[in-house]
Amino acid sequence: MMAPVFTIAMPTSLEKSSSGINWQSGSTTLITESLAGRVIEVDSSGSIVWQKTGLNAPKDAERLGNGNTLITESGMGRVIEVDNGGNILWQKTGLNDPIDAERLSNGNTLITEHIGKKVIEVDSAGNEVWNKTDLYAPKDAERLDNGNILIVEYTGGRIIEVDNSGNIVWMKTGLDGPVDVEILDTGMLITEYLGGRVFEGGVWEITGLDGPADAERLDNGNTLIVEYTGGRIIEVDNSGNIVWEKTGLLGPIDAERLNNEPPNAPTIDGPKNGKVGVEYKWTFISTDPEEDNITYYIDWADECGGAEWHGPYPSGEEVTIAHTYTYENTFTINTLAVDENGAESNWTYFEVTMPKNKPFNFNFNLLSWLFERFPNAFPILRHLLGL
């Protein structure tokens, strides 16, 4: 028996929920504005933190593992890879209305050509190594874990899975203008442009959307939806409440939430024991996946030094911090690293012992015997003891 579908009829006038934003610290959203001719990256407040302008009908953008951005530029018939400064580092030209591009794990690029009616895979030199032709206005393509390709056909109203030989091994038909599909652990998240809805078959759907062009299920369980006609990006929770939105966009057609990864837990190196009142130095080092600058929070666990902030420092730089313990005890240095976007690492602990000085117990009976036996020996010791 099929589980009931959780359906949300969401009018476009729905207000933003008071439940707030459930963002990971420092996360941003990469948005492709086709009519504005740009790709922008915005923070949780909607402010632009990066952009690539002067594009000709961009249709898709993907942030790569190396920090570059892969952009599908339909009006120029090409797919380009740009660095943080917007410089083109790689491109594939001569394409017929490219709509979607995906960088594969093998380094190749999977490209969907809408008017060209095909999906191709090209290597780093731009050579075509695979294709599936004679498609019905393809809008999106994804490489599956089994090596097959999932293709969304807008005009055909279907999603097909093809093997390496191009044979259809599975299909879903009867869709109303499908434009995007995302594979989930529980099934598929499908966006229907003409149907005005995003749905997860047999589980969840949201209707009443204004020209939905793309949808992505986020790590927090919410869904990020692009409304092309509505000119906005919305994030909705499982009940359909809008918890975040970016409005006033010109032809938004694709969006991707970029999660900011926290720094690695710092490593600490330095003395594990010492003397009270003596200054010692410890080194701290952490790396950040996005190469963000790092600030260290250090709690020396004593009443004098307390907790301190040090930084910011470049990711991976070894930082030396001095501290003096003023009383005897075993202390646990607690530290974490925080990147410039506020993402915190796990804690690191380092134990330091400042032992009590052991008193020197004089054995005067033994000393008297030594002085009597060796009357001319130990002159310095005799002087110190006043004997």
Query: What pLDDT, on a 0 to 100 scale, did the predictor assign at position 8?
Result: 44
Alpha helix positions (H), 234-378? 364-373
Give the span between the Cα atoms of 295 and 262, in whole angstroms: 12
Q: How many CB atoms lie within 10 A of CB 18?
A: 7
Give the sheet arrangement for strand 128-132, strand by strand: 98-103, 109-113, 118-122, 128-132
Q: What's the mean per-residue pLDDT of the chain?
A: 88
Going from the N-terminus, what domains does the chain have, and what CATH number goes with each?
A: 6-258 (2.130.10.10), 267-354 (2.60.40.10), 362-387 (no CATH)
Question: What is the predicted pLDDT for the residue at 143?
Answer: 96
Residue 13 has pLDDT above 60, yes or no: no
pLDDT of residue 140: 98
Is the pLDDT score of 1 beyond 90? no
**pLDDT score recorded for residue 4:** 35
pLDDT of residue 340: 85
pLDDT, one tens digit per residue, over 303-354 is: 765 689 999 999 999 999 999 999 999 999 999 999 988 889 999 999 999 9
Q: What is the model's pTM?
A: 0.75
The predicted-structure confidence for 178-220, as pLDDT tens digits, reads as follows 999 999 988 899 999 999 999 998 899 999 999 999 999 998 9
For 123-180, what is each residue's pLDDT tens digit? Answer: 999 999 999 999 999 999 999 999 999 999 999 999 999 999 999 999 999 999 999 9
**What would you measure as the largest C-alpha separation in the chain, in angstroms?**
114
What is the C-alpha to C-alpha distance for residues 320 and 334, in angstroms, rounded to an integer?
15
Give the tens place of pLDDT for each residue, 227-281.
999 999 999 999 999 999 999 999 999 999 998 889 999 999 999 999 999 999 9
Q: What letter would DSSP give residue 251?
A: S
Q: Where are the alpha helices (DSSP H) in the chain?
A: 364-373, 379-385
Between the CA of residue 150 and those of 130, 212, 291, 386, 387, what are the distances in Å? 14, 20, 34, 96, 98
d(C-alpha 122, C-alpha 142), whole Å: 14
Q: How confident is the model at residue 378 (pLDDT cuts 50, 70, 90)?
A: low
DSSP string, 51-104: EE-S-SSEEEEEE-TTS-EEEEEGGGTEEEEE-TT--EEEEE-S-SSEEEEEE-
Q: Dihedral angle at the C-alpha atoms of 235, 237, 240, 241, nearest 10 degrees?
A: -80
**Interval 357-369: pLDDT, tens:** 554 455 556 666 6
Decide: 66 and 105 in contact? Cβ < 8 Å: no
Residue type, position 4, single letter: P
355 or 121, higher pLDDT? 121
Contacts of 359 (CB under 8 A, 6+ apart): none
Question: What is the average per-residue pLDDT within 77-88?
Answer: 96
2, amino acid identity:
M
pLDDT value of residue 15: 32
Long-range contacts for 208-214 (Cβ within 8 Å, ≥24 apart)? 208/9, 208/10, 208/11, 208/12, 209/10, 209/12, 210/12, 212/179, 213/179, 213/180, 213/252, 213/253, 213/254, 214/179, 214/180, 214/253, 214/254, 214/255
Helix residue ranges, H only, 191-326: none
Spatial separation of the C-alpha atoms in residues 199 and 6, rounded to whole Å: 9
Q: Which helix (H) or strand (E) holds 181?
A: strand 178-184
Q: Which residue matches tokens 């032809």?
A: 251
Element (H or E) spanning 48, and its range? Answer: strand 48-52
Cα 185 to Cα 192: distance, rounded to the nearest angstrom: 20
Please tell me the number of Cα atoms within 13 Å of 26 on its side-chain side: 17
Residue 338 pairs with which residues in a beta bridge? 295, 344
Q: Are 296 and 266 in contact (CB under 8 A)?
A: yes
Distance between CA atoms of 204 and 207, rounded to whole angstroms? 10
DSSP letter, residue 143: E
